[in-house]
Amino acid sequence: MHKMTQANLEAAFSGESQAHMKYLIFAARAEAEGLPNVARLFKAISYAEQIHATNHFKALGELGLTPANLESAIDGENYEVHEMYPAFEAVAELQEERSAVRSNQWAMEAEKVHAGMYEQARQAIKAGGDIGIGDVQICSVCGWTLEGSAPDKCPLCGAKAEKFVKF
């Protein structure tokens, strides 16, 4: 692939991915404001943006088989834990941006768990099977992730059990 085409597809993937998430966030706000049809519109167009991002990702040749995808996921989580979030947090600390510090800390702690879970999945595939995993619980406040039942209180942010979403 030509470098300019690749750079354009990478930029498009990034932009479409961000639009997808931004519109989901907007949808949640519209729902909270009692505007279900506006929320539905945001969700629908968010899905279209996801399709665009997926097509760009595939055109870049980034979608592999599950072992390669797990390797990519592990690499990404470890980059966030060891490089990205520590650097971002240091800047936020220097600039006394408390909400940014908290957001970075919460994400970094959750990313550590994600990397471990992906590693378990990779080992299971290497052994010839699927991962043996129960319910995965995600704190909707901070993103803390765990397998099993939701705790009474999130160990990272203190949110109550009902704030956890089960997958």
Q: Looking up tokens 């129960």, which residue turns up?
A: 134
C-alpha span between 137 and 159 (Å, rounded)? 13
Interval 2-40: pLDDT, tens: 999 999 999 999 999 999 999 999 999 999 999 999 999
Name the pTM for this structure. 0.89
Going from N- to C-terminal start, the domains of the chain cover 3-59, 65-133, 134-167
Q: What is the CATH number of domain 3-59?
A: 1.20.1260.10
Interval 113-159: pLDDT, tens: 999 999 999 999 999 999 999 999 999 999 999 999 999 999 999 99
Give the architecture-level CATH label for domain 134-167: Single Sheet (2.20)
- Asked if the domains at 3-59 and 134-167 fall in one CATH topology, the answer is no
Sign of CA dihedral 86, 92, 96, 98: negative
